[in-house]
């Protein structure tokens, strides 16, 4: 889990413009961004290195369209544990399940909230029954199938 910074980073308008361009398209050429903002490519590289060193930029990645690979069922699983100290072991086991995309330690009724992606409802049932519910310490689960993702965004800069 990411540790909160000791000091909040302050960024200026140029940093914000650079970040907005790259958050929209991380492969946008630096020189094209430089021309649009009105500064040199070297200045952009320098600012990006500073932003990476500060921990604000934590990487870049390609985003895969799961439906193209046949993954159409997104679900959120509320996982109840028999006791709090079962959490580390349960998380280690969840990490071994490729369909588990995210895992959150939560407040409220569940101990863990997991986001999983499966090919269909039958695949989801297999993952639940044969993998997640078999983890030592898991007492029961509650499943919510996502019918449609209506918002997908990062924090605004």
CA distance 39 to 14: 9
Say if 31 falls within a structural domain: yes
Domain limits at 20? 13-54
pLDDT of residue 4: 60
61: exposed, middle or buried (C-beta count within 10 Å: 0-12, 13-18, 19+)? exposed
Residue appearing with tokens 């029954």: 129
Per-residue pLDDT for 5 more than 70? no
Q: What is the CATH number of the domain that holds 115?
A: 3.30.70.920
Count of the separate structural domains present in the chain = 2
Say if 137 falls within a structural domain: yes
Say if 59 falls within a structural domain: no
pLDDT of residue 90: 97
Q: pLDDT tens for residues 86-124?
A: 999 999 999 999 999 999 999 999 999 999 999 999 999
């Amino acid at each position: 889990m990411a540790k909160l910074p000791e000091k909040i980073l302050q960024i200026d308008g140029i940093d914000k413009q650079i970040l907005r361009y790259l958050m929209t398209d991380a492969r946008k050429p630096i020189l094209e961004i430089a021309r649009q903002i009105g500064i040199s490519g070297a200045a952009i590289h320098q600012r990006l290195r500073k932003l990476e060193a500060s921990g604000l930029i934590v990487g870049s990645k390609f985003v895969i369209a799961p439906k193209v690979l046949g993954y159409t069922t997104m679900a959120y699983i509320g996982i109840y544990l028999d006791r709090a100290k079962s959490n580390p072991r349960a998380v280690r086991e969840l990490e071994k399940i490729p369909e588990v995309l995210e895992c959150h330690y939560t407040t409220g009724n569940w101990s863990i909230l997991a986001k999983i992606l499966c090919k269909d409802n039958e695949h989801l049932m297999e993952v639940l029954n044969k993998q997640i519910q078999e983890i030592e310490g898991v007492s029961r689960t509650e499943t919510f199938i996502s019918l449609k993702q209506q918002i997908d965004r990062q924090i605004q800069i």
